Protein backbone atom coordinates (compact mmCIF):
# COMPACT_ATOMS: atom_id res chain seq x y z
CA UNK A 1 0.00 0.00 0.00
CA UNK A 2 2.84 2.35 0.92
CA UNK A 3 4.49 1.77 -2.45
CA UNK A 4 1.29 2.25 -4.45
CA UNK A 5 0.61 5.41 -2.44
CA UNK A 6 4.11 6.80 -3.06
CA UNK A 7 4.13 5.94 -6.74
CA UNK A 8 0.66 7.17 -7.58
CA UNK A 9 -0.92 9.59 -5.16
CA UNK A 10 2.37 11.29 -4.14
CA UNK A 11 3.14 11.97 -7.80
CA UNK A 12 -0.42 13.06 -8.59
CA UNK A 13 -0.54 15.32 -5.52
CA UNK A 14 2.59 17.19 -6.61
CA UNK A 15 1.43 17.39 -10.23
CA UNK A 16 -2.01 18.75 -9.25
CA UNK A 17 -0.80 20.90 -6.36
CA UNK A 18 -0.71 24.32 -8.03
CA UNK A 19 -4.07 23.73 -9.73
CA UNK A 20 -5.68 22.62 -6.44
CA UNK A 21 -4.46 25.78 -4.70
CA UNK A 22 -5.26 28.22 -7.53
CA UNK A 23 -8.64 29.42 -6.21
CA UNK A 24 -7.26 29.86 -2.69
CA UNK A 25 -4.18 31.70 -3.96
CA UNK A 26 -6.33 34.12 -5.95
CA UNK A 27 -8.76 34.62 -3.07
CA UNK A 28 -6.09 35.77 -0.61
CA UNK A 29 -3.58 33.01 0.13
CA UNK A 30 -0.99 34.54 -2.18
CA UNK A 31 -1.30 37.88 -0.36
CA UNK A 32 -0.75 36.11 2.97
CA UNK A 33 2.36 34.45 1.55
CA UNK A 34 3.60 37.79 0.20
CA UNK A 35 3.06 39.54 3.51
CA UNK A 36 4.81 36.75 5.44
CA UNK A 37 7.93 36.47 3.32
CA UNK A 38 8.27 40.27 3.09
CA UNK A 39 9.61 39.87 6.64
CA UNK A 40 12.45 37.62 5.50
CA UNK A 41 15.94 39.06 5.60
CA UNK A 42 19.60 38.09 5.27
CA UNK A 43 20.26 34.42 4.60
CA UNK A 44 16.92 32.61 4.32
CA UNK A 45 15.98 28.96 4.61
CA UNK A 46 12.52 27.78 3.53
CA UNK A 47 11.48 24.29 4.62
CA UNK A 48 9.10 22.04 2.69
CA UNK A 49 9.01 24.51 -0.20
CA UNK A 50 6.74 22.25 -2.27
CA UNK A 51 6.40 23.50 -5.83
CA UNK A 52 7.93 26.87 -4.90
CA UNK A 53 4.83 29.05 -4.60
CA UNK A 54 6.69 31.52 -2.35
CA UNK A 55 9.74 31.80 -4.57
CA UNK A 56 8.93 34.98 -6.50
CA UNK A 57 7.61 36.72 -3.39
CA UNK A 58 10.90 36.95 -1.47
CA UNK A 59 12.57 40.37 -1.32
CA UNK A 60 15.40 40.89 -3.81
CA UNK A 61 17.60 42.14 -0.96
CA UNK A 62 18.24 38.69 0.59
CA UNK A 63 21.86 37.61 0.90
CA UNK A 64 20.93 33.98 0.18
CA UNK A 65 17.93 31.71 -0.34
CA UNK A 66 17.94 27.97 0.33
CA UNK A 67 14.85 25.83 -0.26
CA UNK A 68 14.47 22.33 1.16
CA UNK A 69 11.92 19.72 0.14
CA UNK A 70 12.01 16.00 1.03
CA UNK A 71 9.44 14.70 -1.45
CA UNK A 72 11.03 13.41 -4.69
CA UNK A 73 7.96 14.35 -6.77
CA UNK A 74 7.58 17.83 -5.29
CA UNK A 75 11.26 18.61 -5.61
CA UNK A 76 11.09 18.01 -9.37
CA UNK A 77 8.41 20.71 -9.66
CA UNK A 78 10.44 22.93 -7.36
CA UNK A 79 13.63 22.60 -9.41
CA UNK A 80 11.65 23.38 -12.56
CA UNK A 81 10.20 26.56 -11.05
CA UNK A 82 13.62 27.65 -9.72
CA UNK A 83 15.13 27.18 -13.19
CA UNK A 84 12.29 29.18 -14.79
CA UNK A 85 12.62 31.97 -12.19
CA UNK A 86 16.34 32.33 -12.87
CA UNK A 87 17.08 33.40 -9.31
CA UNK A 88 20.20 32.21 -7.46
CA UNK A 89 18.62 29.66 -5.13
CA UNK A 90 19.96 26.49 -3.58
CA UNK A 91 17.56 23.52 -3.55
CA UNK A 92 18.30 20.72 -1.08
CA UNK A 93 16.44 17.43 -0.66
CA UNK A 94 15.99 17.06 3.11
CA UNK A 95 13.28 16.63 5.75
CA UNK A 96 12.76 19.40 8.30
CA UNK A 97 13.55 16.97 11.11
CA UNK A 98 17.12 16.45 9.90
CA UNK A 99 18.66 19.49 8.23
CA UNK A 100 22.10 19.29 6.62
CA UNK A 101 23.19 22.73 7.86
CA UNK A 102 25.53 23.93 10.60
CA UNK A 103 24.21 25.52 13.79
CA UNK A 104 23.40 29.26 13.59
CA UNK A 105 23.39 29.34 9.77
CA UNK A 106 20.33 31.44 8.85
CA UNK A 107 18.86 34.85 9.65
CA UNK A 108 15.37 33.69 8.69
CA UNK A 109 13.68 30.29 8.56
CA UNK A 110 10.29 30.30 6.83
CA UNK A 111 7.66 27.70 6.14
CA UNK A 112 4.12 27.72 4.79
CA UNK A 113 1.61 24.85 5.15
CA UNK A 114 4.30 22.43 6.27
CA UNK A 115 4.02 21.73 10.01
CA UNK A 116 0.62 20.18 9.30
CA UNK A 117 2.41 17.50 7.28
CA UNK A 118 5.84 16.82 8.80
CA UNK A 119 5.77 13.50 10.67
CA UNK A 120 7.50 14.99 13.75
CA UNK A 121 6.83 18.75 14.18
CA UNK A 122 8.61 18.91 17.57
CA UNK A 123 11.81 17.52 16.01
CA UNK A 124 11.47 19.93 13.05
CA UNK A 125 11.17 22.88 15.45
CA UNK A 126 14.31 21.80 17.31
CA UNK A 127 16.14 21.75 13.98
CA UNK A 128 14.82 25.23 13.16
CA UNK A 129 16.10 26.47 16.52
CA UNK A 130 19.48 24.90 15.84
CA UNK A 131 20.03 26.39 12.37
CA UNK A 132 18.65 29.86 13.20
CA UNK A 133 21.15 32.49 14.29
CA UNK A 134 20.52 33.64 17.88
CA UNK A 135 18.89 36.87 16.67
CA UNK A 136 17.13 35.16 13.74
CA UNK A 137 13.40 35.00 13.00
CA UNK A 138 11.13 32.09 12.26
CA UNK A 139 8.19 32.94 9.95
CA UNK A 140 5.19 30.63 9.62
CA UNK A 141 1.86 30.42 7.83
CA UNK A 142 0.01 27.25 8.77
CA UNK A 143 -3.47 25.86 8.90
CA UNK A 144 -4.18 24.78 12.45
CA UNK A 145 -6.56 23.31 15.00
CA UNK A 146 -9.65 25.45 15.46
CA UNK A 147 -10.12 27.37 18.71
CA UNK A 148 -13.84 26.54 18.30
CA UNK A 149 -14.36 23.20 20.13
CA UNK A 150 -17.12 22.02 17.80
CA UNK A 151 -15.00 22.58 14.66
CA UNK A 152 -11.97 21.05 16.45
CA UNK A 153 -14.10 17.95 17.09
CA UNK A 154 -14.80 17.68 13.34
CA UNK A 155 -11.09 18.14 12.65
CA UNK A 156 -10.41 15.17 14.96
CA UNK A 157 -13.15 13.06 13.36
CA UNK A 158 -12.03 13.75 9.78
CA UNK A 159 -8.29 13.78 10.43
CA UNK A 160 -7.70 10.30 8.99
CA UNK A 161 -9.53 10.61 5.64
CA UNK A 162 -8.14 14.14 5.22
CA UNK A 163 -4.63 12.86 5.88
CA UNK A 164 -5.02 10.46 2.97
CA UNK A 165 -6.43 13.10 0.60
CA UNK A 166 -3.94 15.74 1.75
CA UNK A 167 -0.83 13.59 1.25
CA UNK A 168 -0.09 13.26 4.98
CA UNK A 169 -1.64 16.55 6.16
CA UNK A 170 -3.05 16.55 9.72
CA UNK A 171 -5.92 19.05 9.93
CA UNK A 172 -6.13 19.09 13.74
CA UNK A 173 -2.66 20.13 14.90
CA UNK A 174 -2.33 22.94 17.45
CA UNK A 175 0.79 24.22 15.74
CA UNK A 176 1.11 27.54 17.57
CA UNK A 177 1.13 25.67 20.91
CA UNK A 178 3.77 23.30 19.52
CA UNK A 179 5.94 26.25 18.42
CA UNK A 180 5.63 27.77 21.86
CA UNK A 181 6.32 24.42 23.59
CA UNK A 182 9.48 24.07 21.49
CA UNK A 183 10.88 27.12 23.30
CA UNK A 184 10.23 29.89 20.78
CA UNK A 185 9.05 33.31 21.83
CA UNK A 186 5.99 34.12 19.75
CA UNK A 187 5.68 37.52 18.07
CA UNK A 188 2.37 38.74 16.69
CA UNK A 189 0.25 35.83 15.51
CA UNK A 190 -2.68 36.57 13.20
CA UNK A 191 -5.55 34.12 12.81
CA UNK A 192 -6.73 34.44 9.20
CA UNK A 193 -8.95 31.98 7.33
CA UNK A 194 -7.71 29.79 4.52
CA UNK A 195 -9.82 30.96 1.58
CA UNK A 196 -11.85 28.59 -0.61
CA UNK A 197 -11.30 25.40 1.37
CA UNK A 198 -13.54 23.14 3.45
CA UNK A 199 -14.11 24.23 7.09
CA UNK A 200 -11.72 21.69 8.71
CA UNK A 201 -8.72 23.36 7.06
CA UNK A 202 -9.89 26.97 7.30
CA UNK A 203 -8.34 28.09 10.62
CA UNK A 204 -4.84 29.45 10.05
CA UNK A 205 -2.02 31.01 12.03
CA UNK A 206 0.38 33.51 10.46
CA UNK A 207 3.21 34.99 12.44
CA UNK A 208 6.76 35.00 13.61
CA UNK A 209 8.76 33.65 16.49
CA UNK A 210 12.27 34.14 17.78
CA UNK A 211 14.69 32.50 20.14
CA UNK A 212 14.43 33.68 23.75
C1 LIG B 1 0.80 21.35 1.70
S2 LIG B 1 2.41 21.20 1.05
C3 LIG B 1 3.03 22.90 1.20
C4 LIG B 1 4.05 23.23 0.16
C5 LIG B 1 4.55 24.67 0.18
N6 LIG B 1 5.26 24.95 1.41
C7 LIG B 1 3.43 25.67 -0.02
O8 LIG B 1 3.25 26.55 0.80
O9 LIG B 1 2.76 25.57 -1.04
C10 LIG B 1 3.29 20.37 2.34
C11 LIG B 1 4.76 20.23 2.02
O12 LIG B 1 5.44 19.70 3.17
C13 LIG B 1 6.41 18.81 2.67
N14 LIG B 1 6.86 17.89 3.73
C15 LIG B 1 6.34 16.69 4.06
N16 LIG B 1 7.06 16.13 5.03
C17 LIG B 1 8.06 17.00 5.32
C18 LIG B 1 9.17 16.97 6.20
N19 LIG B 1 9.38 15.94 7.03
N20 LIG B 1 10.01 18.02 6.18
C21 LIG B 1 9.80 19.07 5.36
N22 LIG B 1 8.79 19.15 4.50
C23 LIG B 1 7.92 18.12 4.47
C24 LIG B 1 5.68 18.11 1.53
O25 LIG B 1 6.57 17.39 0.70
C26 LIG B 1 5.03 19.28 0.87
O27 LIG B 1 5.87 19.90 -0.05
Each residue of 155-212: pLDDT tens digit?
999 999 999 989 899 999 999 999 999 999 999 999 999 999 999 999 999 999 999 9
Question: What's residue 60's pLDDT?
Answer: 96
- Tell which atom from ligand 1 comes closest to the C-alpha of 49: 6
| 76 to 43, 46, 71, 95, 100: CA distances (angstroms) | 23, 16, 9, 15, 19
Alpha-helix runs per DSSP H in the chain: 2-4, 11-24, 30-37, 72-85, 121-131, 149-157, 159-165, 175-181
For residue 11, what pLDDT is reported? Answer: 81
What predicted TM-score, i.e. pTM, was given to this entire model? 0.96
The answer to whether 175 and 155 have CB atoms below 8 angstroms apart is: no
* CB neighbours of residue 58 within 10 Å: 21
Burial of 97 (0-12, 13-18, 19+ CB in 10 A): middle
**CA-based nearest residue to 211, from 108, 88, 75, 120:** 108
Atom of ligand 1 nearest to the CA of 71: 25
Within 6 Å (CB) of ligand 1, which residues are found? 47-50, 53, 69-71, 74, 95-97, 112-114, 117-119
Which of 5, 117, 197, 201 to probe ligand 1 with, by most ligand atoms within 8 A of CB?
Answer: 117
Taking all residues of the chain, what is their mean pLDDT, rounded to a whole number? 95
Amino acid sequence: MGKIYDATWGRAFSALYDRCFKASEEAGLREMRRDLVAGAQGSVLELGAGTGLNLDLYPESLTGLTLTEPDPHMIKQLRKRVAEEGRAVEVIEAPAESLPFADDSFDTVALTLVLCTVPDPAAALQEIKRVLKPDGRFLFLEHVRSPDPSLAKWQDRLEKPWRFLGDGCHCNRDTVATISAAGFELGDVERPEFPKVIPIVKPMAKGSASLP
